[in-house]
A and B are shown apart, each in its own frame.
Chain A
Amino acid sequence: MNATLAIAGATFGEAVRKRILIVILLIALLIILISPAFGPFAGGRGARTLIISFGFGVIQLAGTFIAIIMCTGLIPTEIERRTIYTILSKPVQRYQFVLGKFFGAVGTLGFMYLMMGIVFLIATRLALGEFDGRIIPGLLMFFFQSSLLAAVVIFFSTFVSPLVNYFLSGGVFLLGNLLSSFLETIQRNPEVTPITRIPVQLLTIILPNFANFNVQNPIINPEQVITDPVAYTVQTIAYAIVYIVMLLVLSMLIFNQREM
């Protein structure tokens, strides 16, 4: 456990010093800060919609970029630099290495989300004149979405090159965001046959479903009455944790068998 935490701490320290990640974070913070400037485009409720949806959009996008860019290089860089031999020559198991890398990445994501979240809450408070606590669950869900994405990227990084990983993870994220909407659309269309529907249904079960975490709409449109929001949040977080654990176990299996 100590070894895992030590690797996680080192990963976190290294990640928060990475210039590209700091640049992404600073740009996101700056954009969130200026988001109240969109208010005058639309009056009243329209202003609220613009500001909150824009803020959420920026945070989600920044979180996605940070997760992919940070995690793609976590394991391959260690192999490339040959520092992994030094680490594994110590009493560190390979699974501890993978776990440490993942927890370090999640810690970094948590730190970045905390920064963006605080700035977002301040910006909305200044723009709308009220503190909207409903934003926090939305941010929490995005954090789990990014953590799941980080697990996907780490999983791929155990057997593909970083360049391929960028596209592969990006593709999985895109698909995982669209599949539920696509399934919903075809389920509403009576002309769609089971031959089309069943493969889509299967894919929504197999691939990580990132759309589950996009819960910002009722926060943006507060009149909405959501059915079982607590059950939904708990199940979605449980889903993220189970999927992450599955991906980490798979990563360990692959990484264990990899010759170095």
Chain B
Amino acid sequence: MKRNYTALKVAVLALFIVQALLQLRIYPLWARNYAPKQAAPIGLSPDQLLVAVAGFREFLAAILWVRADGFFHSGNYDAILPMLRLVTWLDPHNLDVYSTGAWHMGYNFTDESQRSDRRYIPLALKFLEEGIQNNPTVWDLYFEMGWMYYHKIQDPTNAVPWMRLANEYPDMIPARRHLLAHAYFKSGRFDDAVDWWGKLFLDAEKNRHKDWESSQLYDVRQNNLEDTILDILRRYGPNPETQPPVDLDFDATVKVIRPRVLLVEGRLGIPTIGARVTVILRDKGRTIDYTPKALKTFTFEVDPKFTYMQDSLAVRDEKFRREIDMSKDPKMYPFKAPEYEVEFIFEPRYASPNVQARIGSDGVGMYDARYLEEVREKPSPIEVPKYAKVSDEVRREVENPTREVSYWRVRKVITLTREEILMLGKRGE
């Protein structure tokens, strides 16, 4: 009888070792596919934590997300941010939360004049990066990241690698594949834009008779391919329409008319409508780093002492003028630094097609004696998640970008002091 017990004890030990080995094999798969992945459930009340632990994680996440939507519709934007953290902790695979949350941070924090608080954009990028790390096998968030660069930041150079990654996924929505070609074109990679439209066109040709949608897709791609080739020929081919260059005779001035209220005006010699000049006011020597790596860890806090205002001014009759009122949003424009730079930029990459037809989308057809400068840039390297389903070629390309692009722009910088902007000593503040 005693011997049997010994055998059973040995069996228990053996079973313990087997289960431990199995657990060691299961854990990496679990961590990859099912782990919550976020740090700690800070912010969950004890009852919410209990509900989450009791097996209702995703349910609680969905309920909180519905609540966050309620906050959005009532304009209580600040309340949404901590909800995003909770929801993604409870359900890190809810793509809607990442895409909508990043959109919310990138677009919806605005001042009284609907100018975005661009200090939130790096947060949005970091949030999307976290979503991508948690969902590396899905195309959606790569696309969202690319869209954020393409549309909000207006940086097609950095939009390209994210779009490249999204396009690696066969289930990507067909029409969204077009954005890579647009990004190529805007960033000055005309050869890649034509190649990509050509590839998309050939893909669409295979199914053009399948249904109405496929036929539409074929037509759109054919038109875009033809337009792209024609645009390139007209602007850069023999007898280009972009030559001789237009003399922009660019200039800009800024005047403080009331405390925190600027009058900006200037001239841009574009002989057609549709040009816009970007004006940026920021702490001197400081700017926003639009890369996900700009933040070490994700946070909902922006630097409350950092002032950054960006606006876009329409040019009419070769002139632009606007009163920029920053007095109603002290939280967004704290004016804590001693000096500020007001930057006026005109660059043609996002100008209207008729403007680009005359000066090119890279500015080869424009000239300015004082403020013209050439920008040469490469995309920032991307750390592609280990389990992303992308080819080695694309992985290498986005992790170590080598292709440099360039474009021309005009840029003028004016420095103002805090005293000048706040009119200290004149009206007192």
Contacts and interface: CB of A to CB of B under 8 A. Distances in A.
Query: A and B, one complex?
Result: yes
Interface of A: 41-42, 45-46, 49-50, 52-54, 56-57, 60-61, 64, 174, 177-178, 180-181, 183-185, 187-189, 204-206, 209, 211-212, 214-218, 220-221, 223-229, 231-232, 235-236, 238-239, 242-243, 245-246, 249-250, 252-253, 256
Interface in B305-329: none
Given A223-B138, A236-B26, A246-B12, A215 B66 contact: no
Contacts of A41: 63, 66
10 contacts: A46-B65, A64-B55, A180-B27, A185-B36, A204-B27, A212-B26, A217-B93, A218-B33, A220-B93, A242-B22
Contacts of A174: 53
A-B complex: 3 closest residue pairs judged by Cβ atoms: A53-B58, A225-B137, A60-B55
Interface in B31-45: 31-40
B58 A216 contact: yes
A54 to B, nearest CB: 5
A224 B138 contact: yes
A180 B93 CA distance: 17
- Assign chain B's interface to a size class: 35 or more
Contacts of A180: 27, 30-31, 35
Given A56-B58, A57-B57, 6 more contacts: A41-B66, A54-B56, A180-B27, A184-B36, A204-B27, A253-B8
Contact of A49 (B18, B19, B94, B138): B94
Given A218-B93, A224-B137, A243-B19, A42 B62 contact: yes
B70 to A, nearest CB: 10
B63 to A, nearest CB: 7
A205 B11 CA distance: 18
A46 B24 CA distance: 35
A56 B36 contact: no
A6 to B, nearest CB: 23
Contacts, number: 157
A211 B30 contact: yes
Given A188-B39, A243-B19, A205 B24 contact: yes
Contacts of B37: 184, 188
Contacts of A217: 34, 57-58, 91, 93
A214 B55 CA distance: 8
B22 A246 contact: no
B56 A178 contact: no
B15 A49 contact: no
Nearest to A60: B55
Contacts of B387: 227
A239 B15 CA distance: 10
Nearest to B35: A184
A218 B34 contact: yes
Nearest to B93: A221
A185 B57 CA distance: 16
B218 to A, nearest CB: 27
Contact of A46 (B32, B66, B140): B66
B23 interface: yes
A112 B137 CA distance: 36
B62 A181 contact: no
B5 interface: yes
B145 to A, nearest CB: 16
Nearest to A216: B58
B9 interface: yes
B153 to A, nearest CB: 26
Contacts of A256: 5
Contacts of A52: 58
A60 B66 CA distance: 23
A53 B62 contact: yes
B91 A220 contact: yes
Interface string B361-390: 000000000000000000000000001010
B167 interface: no
A50 B34 contact: no
B300 interface: no
B62 A46 contact: yes
A181 B36 contact: yes
A57 B24 contact: no
Contacts of A177: 53
A49 B93 contact: no
- Determine which residue in A181, A188, A218 has the highest number of CB atoms from chain B within 10 A of its CB, and name it: A181
A212 B28 CA distance: 11
A242 B11 CA distance: 11
B46 to A, nearest CB: 14
A45 B66 CA distance: 12
Contacts of A220: 58, 91, 93
